[in-house]
Amino acid sequence: MRNHTEVYVAAIGRLYELRRSADFYQRLQEKIRGRKRTQIARTAEGTGVPEHVRSLPGGWHINTNLSTADKLRNLERACDVAGVVFGSELVVHEAPE
């Protein structure tokens, strides 16, 4: 993977695939809701920033216009929803420059 955004989107999609729960994205949406906009939605427009959205498996969309720290925080919350231990069962390594 080339960048943080690709890793973020791939990891969220993989957690969904592992969980295969109809309410995974809905539960994640509650945990990563921003103050001003929705981070994950059923439509790209639902995030409030359709120009910064990537599609996820299952037809949902995720805002990628976030800092690396916010992406990591959201991955931790997604792991919690999926029942996966962040840092142990899902490990994110910084790529060498």
pTM equals 0.88
CATH number at residue 13: 1.20.1380.10
Structural domain harbouring 35: 4-82
Residue 70 identity? D
Continuous segment of H or E residues that includes residue 79: helix 68-82
Residue 46 lies in a domain: yes
- Please check whether residue 62 is in contact with residue 47, taking contact to mean a CB–CB distance below 8 angstroms: yes
Q: Write out the chain's pLDDT in tens, 97 residues.
A: 578 899 999 999 999 998 878 899 999 999 998 778 889 999 999 998 899 999 999 999 999 999 999 999 999 999 999 999 998 888 887 655 4
Residue 45 lies in a domain: yes
